[in-house]
Structure 1
Amino acid sequence: MADPTPLLSQSTTGGGEQEPPKLEKHHPSLDSMIERSMQDFGWAQLMQALLVSLAWFFDAQQTFISIFTDALPPWRCVNLDDEYCNSIADVCQLVNSSSWQWVYPKHASIVSEWGLQCANSATRGLPASSFFMGCLIGGLLLATLADSSFGRKNMLFLSCLVMSCSSLLTIFSTNVWIYSGLRFVAGFGRATIGTCALVLSSELVGKKWRGSVGMIGFFGFTLGFLSLPAIAYVNRGSSWRVLYIWTAVPAIGFCVLVHFLVCESPRWLFVMGRGEEAVETLKSIAPPGASGLTEGFSSISLNEEPLNNMDIFSAIKALLEKRWAFRRLCAVMLAGFGTGMVYYGMPLALGNLDFNLYSSVTLNALAELPSTLVTFLLIGKLNRKSSLLFFTTLSGFCSVMCILVGRVWQKLQIGLELVSFFSGCTALDVLLIFTLELFPTCVRNSALSMVRQAVVFGGVFSPLLVAVAGRTSDGVASYGVFGLVIGCCGLFVICLPETSGGNLCDTMDEAERKEDKRDPRILC
Structure 2
Amino acid sequence: MSNSISSPLLLSQSDSIESKQPPPPPPPLSLDETIERCIGDFSWVQFLQTFLVSLAWFFDAQQTFISVFTDVEPTWHCTQLGDESCNSASSDICQLSNNSWSWDFPVHTSIISEWGLECASSLVKGLPASSFFMGCLAGGFILATLADSSLGRKNTLFLSCLIMSLSSLLTIFSTNVWIYSVLRFVNGFGRATIGTCAIVLSSELVGKKWRGQVGTIGYFCFALGFLSLPAIAYINRGSSWRTLYFWTSTPTFLYSILVPFLVRESPRWLFVQGRTEEAVLIIKSIASTNQNISRISFSNLCFERETRNNVDHLYTAIKILVEKNWSFRRLSVVMVAGFGMGMVYYGMPLGLGNLSFNLYLSVTLNALSELPSSLVTFFIIGKLKRRSSLLGFTILSGICSVMCIVAGKVSATLQIGLELVSYFSACTALDLMLIYTLELFPTCVRNSAMSLLRQAVVLGGAISPVLVAAGRKNGFLSFGVFGLTIGICGLFVISLPETKDRPISDTMDEEEYKFECDNIIS
TM-score when scaled to structure 2? 0.87
Report the Cα offset of residue 297 of structure 1: 5.4
Question: 1:179: which partner in 2?
Answer: 180
Which consecutive residues of structure 1, in runs of 5 or more, have no partner in the other structure? 1-21
Question: 1:293: which partner in 2?
Answer: 293
User: Are the equivalent residues in 1 in contact too, given 2:216–2:377 (CA < 8 A)?
Assistant: no
Distance in 1 separating the partners of 2:254 and 2:108:
27
Distance in 2 separating the partners of 1:464 and 1:282:
47
Distance in 1 separating the partners of 2:319 and 2:299:
35
Structure 2 CA distance for partners of 1:183 and 1:405, relative to 1, 3 Å: same
Distance in 1 separating the partners of 2:240 and 2:441:
47
The structure with more radius of gyration: 2
Question: 1:246: which partner in 2?
Answer: 247
Report the Cα offset of residue 428 of structure 1: 1.2
User: Are the equivalent residues in 2 in contact too, given 1:272–1:306 (CA < 8 A)?
Assistant: no
Q: Secondary structure at the match of 1:208?
A: coil
Question: 2:84: which partner in 1?
Answer: 83
* Aligned ranges 1:14-413 → 2 under 5 Å: 28=30, 30-86=31-87, 89=90, 91-287=92-288, 289-290=289-290, 293=293, 296=296, 305=305, 307-311=307-311, 313-413=315-415
Structure 2 CA distance for partners of 1:106 and 1:486, relative to 1, 3 Å: same
User: Are the equivalent residues in 2 in contact too, given 1:80–1:86 (CA < 8 A)?
Assistant: no
Question: 1:11: which partner in 2?
Answer: none
Post-superposition Cα deviations, 1:169-216, rounded to whole Å, max 9, x if no partner, equal: 000000011101111111111011111111222233333332232221
Distance in 2 separating the partners of 1:300 and 1:110:
61
Question: 2:493: which partner in 1?
Answer: 493
Which consecutive residues of structure 2, in runs of 5 or more, have no partner in the other structure? 1-24
Structure 2 CA distance for partners of 1:346 and 1:294, relative to 1, 3 Å: farther
Distance in 1 separating the partners of 2:375 and 2:348:
21
Distance in 2 separating the partners of 1:161 and 1:510:
36
Report the Cα offset of residue 515 of structure 1: 5.9
Distance in 2 separating the partners of 1:511 and 1:276:
25
Q: Secondary structure at the match of 2:146?
A: coil
User: Are the equivalent residues in 2 in contact too, given 1:469–1:478 (CA < 8 A)?
Assistant: yes
Report the Cα offset of residue 439 of structure 1: 4.3
User: Are the equivalent residues in 1 in contact too, given 2:122–2:469 (CA < 8 A)?
Assistant: yes
Q: Secondary structure at the match of 2:398?
A: helix
Structure 2 CA distance for partners of 1:431 and 1:245, relative to 1, 3 Å: same
Structure 2 CA distance for partners of 1:149 and 1:66, relative to 1, 3 Å: same
Post-superposition Cα deviations, 1:23-47, rounded to whole Å, max 9, x if no partner, equal: x95552x444433332133333222
Question: 1:453: which partner in 2?
Answer: 455
Report the Cα offset of residue 486 of structure 1: 1.0
Report the Cα offset of residue 283 of structure 1: 3.6
Percent identical: 66
Q: Secondary structure at the match of 1:168?
A: helix
Distance in 1 separating the partners of 2:387 and 2:279:
38
Report the Cα offset of residue 405 of structure 1: 1.6
Question: 1:18: which partner in 2?
Answer: none
Report the Cα offset of residue 148 of structure 1: 2.1
Question: 1:482: which partner in 2?
Answer: 482
Distance in 2 separating the partners of 1:83 and 1:462:
36
1:118 partner letter: C
User: Are the equivalent residues in 2 in contact too, given 1:282–1:294 (CA < 8 A)?
Assistant: no
User: Are the equivalent residues in 2 in contact too, given 1:79–1:99 (CA < 8 A)?
Assistant: yes
User: Are the equivalent residues in 1 in contact too, given 2:339–2:489 (CA < 8 A)?
Assistant: yes
Post-superposition Cα deviations, 1:366-394, rounded to whole Å, max 9, x if no partner, equal: 11111111122112332322222221111
Report the Cα offset of residue 427 of structure 1: 1.4
Q: Secondary structure at the match of 2:77?
A: strand
Structure 2 CA distance for partners of 1:411 and 1:447, relative to 1, 3 Å: same
Using the TM superposition, name which of 78-87 and 127-136 deviates more: 78-87
Report the Cα offset of residue 124 of structure 1: 0.6
Distance in 2 separating the partners of 1:318 and 1:156:
23
Report the Cα offset of residue 245 of structure 1: 0.4
The Cα RMSD (Å) is 2.8
Distance in 2 separating the partners of 1:62 and 1:195:
16
User: Are the equivalent residues in 1 in contact too, given 2:147–2:197 (CA < 8 A)?
Assistant: yes
Structure 2 CA distance for partners of 1:204 and 1:492, relative to 1, 3 Å: closer
2:454 partner letter: R
Structure 2 CA distance for partners of 1:432 and 1:293, relative to 1, 3 Å: same
User: Are the equivalent residues in 2 in contact too, given 1:403–1:477 (CA < 8 A)?
Assistant: no
Report the Cα offset of residue 320 of structure 1: 3.1
Report the Cα offset of residue 322 of structure 1: 4.0
Question: 2:16: which partner in 1?
Answer: none
User: Are the equivalent residues in 2 in contact too, given 1:335–1:490 (CA < 8 A)?
Assistant: yes
Question: 2:417: which partner in 1?
Answer: 415
Question: 2:13: which partner in 1?
Answer: none
Structure 2 CA distance for partners of 1:27 and 1:517, relative to 1, 3 Å: closer
1:415 partner letter: G
Post-superposition Cα deviations, 1:443-497, rounded to whole Å, max 9, x if no partner, equal: 4443332222111110010111112222x2x457411111111112122233444
Q: Secondary structure at the match of 1:153?
A: helix
Distance in 2 separating the partners of 1:48 and 1:507:
25
Distance in 2 separating the partners of 1:213 and 1:428:
15
Distance in 2 separating the partners of 1:438 and 1:36:
22
2:68 partner letter: I
User: Are the equivalent residues in 1 in contact too, given 2:200–2:447 (CA < 8 A)?
Assistant: no
Structure 2 CA distance for partners of 1:146 and 1:508, relative to 1, 3 Å: closer
Distance in 2 separating the partners of 1:294 and 1:154:
29
Structure 2 CA distance for partners of 1:438 and 1:486, relative to 1, 3 Å: same
TM-score when scaled to structure 1? 0.87
Distance in 1 separating the partners of 2:267 and 2:324:
32
2:408 partner letter: G
Structure 2 CA distance for partners of 1:175 and 1:343, relative to 1, 3 Å: same
- Quick one: higher RCO (CA 8 Å, sep 6+), 1 or 2? 2
Report the Cα offset of residue 408 of structure 1: 1.6
Post-superposition Cα deviations, 1:12-64, rounded to whole Å, max 9, x if no partner, equal: xxxxxxxxxx9x95552x44443333213333322222111111100110011
Please, which of 424, 430, 433 is the counterpart of residue 431 of structure 1? Answer: 433
Q: Secondary structure at the match of 1:84?
A: coil
Distance in 1 separating the partners of 2:37 and 2:514:
30
Distance in 2 separating the partners of 1:154 and 1:444:
16
User: Are the equivalent residues in 1 in contact too, given 2:136–2:191 (CA < 8 A)?
Assistant: yes
Report the Cα offset of residue 229 of structure 1: 0.4
Using the TM superposition, name which of 235-244 and 450-459 deviates more: 450-459
Report the Cα offset of residue 110 of structure 1: 0.5
Structure 2 CA distance for partners of 1:308 and 1:240, relative to 1, 3 Å: same
